[in-house]
A and B are shown apart, each in its own frame.
Chain A
Amino acid sequence: MSALSELGKLKKGAAGGKRDNKAAFIFLLPWLIGLATITIGPMLMSLYLSFTDYNLIQDPNWIGLNNFVRMVHDARLLNSLRVTFTYVLIGVPLQLALALLIAMVLDRGLRGLPFYRSVFYLPSLLGTSVAVAILWKQMFGTTGLVNQLLAMVGIQGPGWISDPSTALGSIILLHVWTFGSPMIIFLAGLRQIPTMYYEAADVDGASKAKQFFKITLPLLSPIIFFNLVLQIIGAFQSFTQAFIVSGGNGGPSDSTMFFTLYLYQKGFGEFDMGYASAMAWVLLVIIGAFTAINFYAAKFWVFYDD
């Protein structure tokens, strides 16, 4: 199913047979040009730029590791890492837990499943739009929808997005709100678990909780793993929500200054492109490290039933 499992299969080798090099490379030509000019070329270029002081006007000067040294001493950058990690490490598990919970409630031959599925899925299509970010900005403002609702039960809510201690929380909530797409992947996975396992467990008198931990969770673990890897990669790159909700400055007090937002400010606000390139590579290394850790940890908890 997934790009991940495909990567694993690559080692197993392709079937032999006649080669159609000419035809194949004609079909692949647009993709190959794109790979070279839009992906690999720019990647190498940005790696080079990360060791320079390029600013779009003057020619780049080689400054060695200066950009990286500068990062270690850049308090705003270190803060942006902290903000991004908080967002990823809280937002992704919450989102996936909710996705799994709702998928499990929806799974057992429920009436109206297509309706519920649509309603829960819709926010994940809209959630990355500027329009929803605008809505969020209003909802979590001092006189926004959330505080109006709280006032009805006599609670005076804070200005969620103007208070540094709650601003990030409201953006995390927006991320959790988009649990619909992993939910659909979970639904597809749950459907693959044979009922006979549960029937046998019922006969043996196993409780529902026990069935969840001993049947559902192990058999679903490859899909949980897959969702986890993809959602983490995606969450590290979140940008729009923080940009719109904070008015582009990552405020208040840099509390929603995502790493990508800081990168945007450096690269496209100040045209400090050498520094922005170095930041981009740091992001790539962080995402790569998280993915590697995930794959390593998977050995201990992901269960393959074949």
Chain B
Amino acid sequence: MTTNIEPLPAAAADAVEPARRPPAAGAPKRPTRKRESRGTLAFSRSAKVRAAVKHAILIVAALVMIYPLLWMVASSLRPNDVIFREPGVLLKTFEAGNYSAGWNALTNPFGHYLLNSAIVVLGTIIGNLVSCSMAAYAFARLNFWGKKWFFGAMLLTIMLPFHVVIVPQYILFSQIGWVNTFWPLIVPKLLATDAFFVFLMVQFIRGVPKELDEAARIDGAGHPRIFLRVILPLMTPALATTTIFTFIWTWNDFFSQLIYLTSPDMFTVPVALRAFVDAQSSTSWGSMFAMSVVSLLPVFIAFLIGQKFLVKGIATTGIK
């Protein structure tokens, strides 16, 4: 029997829907609130005034939240002495010199550290996607000995503070000579230690109708094939969420990169920034801000591209 599971696009599209909708946070299913149901009053005058006040408050609050970031970007384009007396964000002059100074301030040009971070991020993303999706398939679709216990253990590891494992992990990795390599940062991800994502994917796969698996099985497909050809293509939203979160968290991660990467050639962006702060006197804020802006840019771009997935990911699993 041929295992043609291609002609499923219509069903596949349906399958994505239920899981896409966040099975929102804990609360039992109830009819969702209809936004317009209070509409009769919406156009009355007091409602209009209230909305205007609300917007005014929100805009002020948003500005307060974002102002430090705007100011940092503005200051990165100012001479050092101006940074200390200009609290505004409008630029009168435009000083790109901080960027070239900051770029070359450390042993290696800053691009070197960006590249190191990119390698680590790429490795962790691949590791998380492969290992977490495999584990999630087993938990969501297969029945096996000790499943409840393993699943419970997986959930508990999500909440485990990593400090209780970091010392022995460091000893282990230093004994196999992995300090000052990227392996201690990547290998754990290949072993699905970011259990968060296993959980996120389990939740997602549970929303995919089982009939699709059954149909493939009747066509003679085994589990590897069902996983690769049915489940994996349908769970791309969950994979996208995992990719973006892994990207941002790994890019920002400081603690583990700080302890494993001690040679300047191996520094990633956060560790390099820290070395920058330590090396410079407080007179070179301009170039420090410039490199800080450079380091935040990838996260900001990831945020712009992946907002939809980030918001859904948080709403469904409550991850940070």
Which residues of chain A have a CB within 8 Å of any CB of chain B?
A: 1-7, 10, 13-15, 17-21, 23-25, 27-31, 33-35, 37-39, 41-43, 45-46, 49, 56, 102, 105-106, 109-112, 116-126, 128-132, 134-139, 141, 143, 145, 148-149, 152, 177, 181, 184-185, 187-189, 191-195, 199, 219, 222-223, 226-227, 230, 233-234, 236-237, 239-240, 243-244, 247-248, 260, 263-264, 267-268, 273, 276-277, 279-281, 283-284, 287, 291, 304-306
| Count of A-B residue pairs with CB < 8 Å | 337
Give the docked Cα–Cα distance between A123 and B296 (Å). Answer: 11
The answer on a CB contact under 8 Å between A46 and B307 is: no
- Asked whether any CB of chain A lies closer than 8 Å to the CB of B94, the reply is no
* Seed contacts A129-B252, A287-B161, A306-B28; 10 additional CB < 8 Å A-B pairs: A6-B199, A34-B188, A38-B169, A42-B169, A42-B172, A46-B164, A135-B72, A135-B289, A193-B33, A260-B163
The answer on a CB contact under 8 Å between B65 and A125 is: no
The answer on a CB contact under 8 Å between A38 and B165 is: yes
The answer on a CB contact under 8 Å between B162 and A237 is: yes
* Chain B interface bracket (under 10, 10 to 19, 20 to 34, 35 or more): 35 or more
Give the docked Cα–Cα distance between A45 and B58 (Å). Answer: 51
- Residues of A with C-beta under 8 A to B300: 122, 126
B217 vs chain A, min Cβ distance (A): 11
Interface of A is mostly: helix
B204 vs chain A, min Cβ distance (A): 12
Choose among A126, A276, A284 the residue that contacts B161 (Cβ–Cβ < 8 A): A284
- Residues of A with C-beta under 8 A to B96: none
The answer on a CB contact under 8 Å between B288 and A191 is: no
- Residues of B with C-beta under 8 A to A247: 277-278
- Residues of A with C-beta under 8 A to B299: 125-126, 129
B43 vs chain A, min Cβ distance (A): 13
Choose among B169, B174, B296 the residue that contacts A129 (Cβ–Cβ < 8 A): B296
Give the docked Cα–Cα distance between A27 and B228 (Å). Answer: 12
- Asked whether any CB of chain A lies closer than 8 Å to the CB of B61, the reply is yes
The answer on a CB contact under 8 Å between A14 and B147 is: yes
Which residues of chain B have a CB within 8 Å of any CB of chain A?
A: 22-28, 30-38, 51, 54-55, 57-58, 61-62, 65-66, 68-69, 71-72, 83-87, 130-132, 134-135, 137-138, 142-145, 147-148, 150-172, 174, 188, 190-193, 198-199, 203, 222-223, 227, 248, 251-252, 254-255, 259, 269-270, 273-274, 277-278, 282, 285, 288-289, 291-293, 295-296, 299-300, 303, 307, 310-311, 314-320
Give the docked Cα–Cα distance between A291 and B99 (Å). Answer: 46
Give the docked Cα–Cα distance between A222 and B67 (Å). Answer: 33
A273 vs chain B, min Cβ distance (A): 5
- Residues of A with C-beta under 8 A to B319: 181
- Residues of A with C-beta under 8 A to B22: 1, 188
- For the complex of A and B, the 8 pairs showing the least CB-CB separation, nearest first, are A34-B191, A24-B144, A131-B292, A42-B168, A45-B168, A109-B35, A31-B192, A27-B138
